[in-house]
């Protein structure tokens, strides 16, 4: 049981390049989330998904797209990277409604630098 994994762990991009961050969970969780963490800003929600095939915008969705084609995977895409997207990105998942809401599991993070 690996929990929540993120690929890659580190990445350096040039402005305008694109990339996809992969989040995978093996706990059969319904809800998945993408956050970014910046100094002094805490964790801010980018996009989230309440089930396979569904996505929704969070607090800071601009410049990002997501897809949840399979229940266990949640992809975060940057179509045209900007220096303002330099950040540490965390994926998280939670069990289905009706189960404990305190078990939000986080991945180890992806450190992205955009030059």
CA nearest 73: which of 115, 20, 16, 112? Answer: 20
Residues with Cβ < 8 Å from 39, sequence gap 6 or more? none
How far is residue 4 CA from its own chain's centroid? 11
Residue 12 in contact with another protein, rule: CB under 8 A? no
Among 43, 63, 71, 86, binds another protein (CB under 8 A): 43
Of 14 and 62, nearer to another protein (C-beta) is 62
Interatomic CA distance for residues 56 and 49, integer angstroms: 6
Tell me how many residues contact another protein (CB under 8 A): 28
Give, in order, the Cα–Cα distances in Å from 49 to each of 28, 54, 58, 82, 88.
13, 6, 10, 24, 20
**How many residues are there in the chain?**
115
Select the span of 12-20, 63-71, 73-81, 98-106 touching another protein (CB under 8 A): 98-106
Residue 27 in contact with another protein, rule: CB under 8 A? no
Among 1, 2, 40, 62, binds another protein (CB under 8 A): 40
Rounded least distance, CB 70 to another protein, Å: 20
User: Site residues (CB under 8 A) for another protein?
Assistant: 4, 31, 33, 35, 40-45, 48, 50, 56, 58-59, 90, 92, 94, 97, 101-109
């Amino acid at each position: 049981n690996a929990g929540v994994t993120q690929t890659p762990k580190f990445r350096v991009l040039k402005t305008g390049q694109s990339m996809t961050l992969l989040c995978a969970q093996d706990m059969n969780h319904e809800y998945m989330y993408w956050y970014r963490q910046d100094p002094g800003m805490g964790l801010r929600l980018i996009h989230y998904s309440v089930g396979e095939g569904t996505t929704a915008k969070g607090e800071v969705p601009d410049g990002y797209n997501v897809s949840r084609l399979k229940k266990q995977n949640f992809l975060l895409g940057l179509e045209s990277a900007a220096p303002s997207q330099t950040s540490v990105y965390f994926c998280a998942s939670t069990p289905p409604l009706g189960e404990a809401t305190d078990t939000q599991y986080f991945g180890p993070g992806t450190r992205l630098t955009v030059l």
